[in-house]
């Protein structure tokens, strides 16, 4: 069944169009048109901005749940549903550094989610345990370790089995040969939680790493004689996720990153934790209490432990800094989808999945549609 959704403005993944309508054929995009064909039913959304559903590549938890030892298919479904209600219709549930048996369990559950076609599940992000203890952040330093041949084989198979797999690692914890093999298997290798030099980072990029995890956070910073991972990222051609909550990255370095990088190189991540989609004031992370106060998530010692922001809020924050709405919206939709090779997400092009969000003039979330709900109401 063909239907039209009309809004004052429509963002197609690249540009904002005024006075147009989005034609859907069931749960797939058909076209964006200036005039709706005769006989096609129209849903008039009025004064709002219709955009593709957002894509979040770093989601540690939500709905009171954390990806971890208890992860099963039902838990992943709850986390996906919580973020769908927050505007991210496709996510990569993210496991932070944990024990080997937990990694095995989460990968196995992710396979089941992929096989079941779990709504909102776009793949898996493994952030650790192959990190740099010097930049562990909120990760348990006792669980950080170098990558072994057994780890590599597990990750290679997961990359082949899953729709997408991001592996965040530090150059000191994985060899260039291991990075190259992960890339060859189809994984997106992302550098993060590392105190590496700029040269170390460039060598890892040459080996196959093509992304950086939460730019500026938990990594060697830009110095006048030691550019670090930040400097290598800003002057390289890799992509990088960034947290735009005003807490993890101040306005000045955020502006610098946006100015120095090509429009398609930076994308937004929420780095969400269990508190997302709830009113919880605290939760447990690997047995440690995380406190939620004033837009921050912190351990008892003040260490940041994830972020307390949604992607629509992140988009609004960028626009408030002077970023063009088209770029900010792309950073939450088309660009992260492209990072994981999901060309059917994050855009309104013929054949794309018809996930949609409606934002008001202040970019606040008003309504969410997923391909599944559209099919159910067709």
What are the b/e assignments for 178-209, b being 16+ CB within 10 Å? bbebbbebbbbbbbbbbbbbbebbbbbbebbb
Q: What average pLDDT does the segment 99-119 reach?
A: 98
| Same-domain check for residues 151 and 209 | yes
Please state, for a pLDDT cut of 90, what percent of the chain lies above it: 96
Q: Check residue 287 and give its pLDDT.
A: 86
Q: What is the pLDDT of residues 321-350, one digit of tens each?
A: 999 999 999 999 999 999 999 999 999 999
Range with the lowest mean pLDDT among 23-37, 77-91, 362-376?
A: 362-376
pTM value? 0.97
Q: Check residue 99 and give its pLDDT.
A: 97
Q: Check residue 373 and give its pLDDT.
A: 77
Please count the structural domains in the chain.
2
Q: What average pLDDT does the segment 268-273 reach?
A: 97
257: tokens are 């990153």
CATH number (domain holding residue 98):
3.20.20.140
Provide the residue range defining the domain that includes 41.
Answer: 2-51+348-377
| Same-domain check for residues 191 and 210 | yes
* Neighbouring residues of 27: CB distance < 8 A, sequence distance ≥ 6: 353, 354, 371, 372, 374, 375, 378
Q: Check residue 377 and give its pLDDT.
A: 58
| Same-domain check for residues 40 and 177 | no
| Same-domain check for residues 179 and 253 | yes
| Same-domain check for residues 327 and 372 | no
Mean pLDDT rounded to a whole number for the chain: 96
Q: How confident is the model at residue 299 (pLDDT cuts 50, 70, 90)?
A: very high
Q: Check residue 20 and give its pLDDT.
A: 97
Q: Check residue 372 and give its pLDDT.
A: 81
Place of tokens 């890892």: 204
Does 360 qualify as catalytic in the annotation?
no
Model confidence at 173: pLDDT above 70: yes
Q: Which of 132, 271, 338, 355 is catalytic?
A: 271
Residue 27 phi/psi, 5-degree rounding, is: -105, 20
CATH number (domain holding residue 45):
2.30.40.10
Which contacts (CB < 8 Å, 24+ apart) does range 40-45 have? 40/2, 40/3, 40/4, 41/3, 41/4, 42/3, 42/4, 42/5, 42/6, 43/3, 43/4, 43/5, 43/6, 44/6, 45/5, 45/6, 45/7, 45/8, 45/358, 45/367
Model confidence at 376: pLDDT above 70: no
Q: What average pLDDT does the segment 55-69 reach?
A: 97
| Same-domain check for residues 122 and 218 | yes
Please state, for a pLDDT cut of 70, what percent of the chain lies above it: 99
Cis peptide before 129 (omega within 30 of 0): yes
Q: How confident is the model at residue 371 (pLDDT cuts 50, 70, 90)?
A: confident
Q: Check residue 1 and give its pLDDT.
A: 85
Instruction: Name which of 88, 3, 28, 27 is nearest 352 in CA terms.
Output: 28
Q: Check residue 378 and give its pLDDT.
A: 55
Q: Check residue 261 and give its pLDDT.
A: 94
| Same-domain check for residues 312 and 373 | no
| Same-domain check for residues 22 and 107 | no
| Same-domain check for residues 246 and 328 | yes
Q: Check residue 361 and give its pLDDT.
A: 94
| Same-domain check for residues 275 and 370 | no
Range with the lowest mean pLDDT among 109-118, 164-173, 245-254, 285-294?
A: 285-294
Q: What is the pLDDT of residues 212-238, one digit of tens each?
A: 999 999 999 999 999 999 999 999 999
Cα separation, 174 vs 172, in Å, equals 6
DSSP state of 378: -
Q: What is the pLDDT of residues 120-159, one digit of tens each?
A: 999 999 999 999 999 999 999 999 999 999 999 999 999 9
| Same-domain check for residues 367 and 236 | no
Q: Check residue 346 and give its pLDDT.
A: 98
Q: Check residue 333 and give its pLDDT.
A: 98
| Same-domain check for residues 355 and 333 | no
């Amino acid at each position: 069944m063909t239907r039209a959704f009309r809004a004052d403005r429509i963002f197609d993944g690249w540009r904002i169009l005024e006075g147009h309508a989005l034609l859907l054929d069931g749960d797939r995009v058909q076209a964006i048109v200036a005039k709706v064909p005769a006989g096609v039913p129209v849903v008039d959304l009025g004064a709002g901005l219709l955009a593709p559903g957002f894509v979040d590549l770093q989601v540690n938890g939500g709905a009171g749940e954390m990806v971890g030892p208890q992860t099963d298919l039902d838990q992943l479904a709850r986390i996906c549903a919580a973020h769908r209600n927050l505007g991210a219709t496709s996510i990569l549930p993210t496991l932070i550094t944990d024990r080997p048996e937990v990694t095995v369990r989460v990968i196995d559950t992710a396979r089941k989610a992929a096989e079941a076609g779990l709504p909102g599940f776009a793949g898996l992000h493994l952030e650790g345990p192959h990190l740099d203890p010097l930049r562990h952040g909120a990760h348990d330093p006792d669980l950080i370790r170098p990558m072994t041949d057994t780890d590599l084989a597990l990750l290679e198979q997961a990359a082949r089995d899953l729709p997408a797999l991001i592996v965040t690692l530090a150059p000191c914890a994985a060899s260039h040969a291991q990075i190259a093999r992960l890339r060859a298997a189809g994984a997106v290798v992302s550098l993060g939680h590392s105190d590496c030099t700029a040269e170390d980072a460039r060598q890892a990029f040459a080996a196959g790493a093509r992304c950086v995890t939460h730019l500026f956070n938990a990594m060697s910073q830009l110095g006048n004689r030691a550019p670090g991972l930040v400097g290598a990222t800003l002057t390289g051609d890799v992509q990088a996720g960034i947290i735009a909550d005003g807490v993890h990255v101040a306005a000045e370095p955020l502006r610098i990153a946006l100015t120095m990088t090509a429009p398609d190189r930076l994308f937004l991540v929420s780095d969400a934790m269990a508190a997302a989609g709830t009113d919880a004031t605290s939760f447990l992370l690997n047995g440690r209490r995380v406190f939620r106060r004033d837009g921050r998530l912190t351990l008892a010692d003040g260490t940041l432990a994830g972020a307390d922001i949604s992607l629509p809020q992140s988009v609004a924050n960028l626009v408030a800094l002077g970023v063009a709405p088209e770029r900010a919206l792309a950073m939450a939709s088309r660009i992260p989808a492209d990072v994981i090779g999901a060309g059917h997400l994050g855009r309104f092009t013929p054949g794309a999945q018809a996930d949609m969000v409606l934002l008001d003039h202040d970019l606040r979330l008003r309504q969410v549609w997923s391909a599944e709900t559209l099919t159910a109401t067709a």
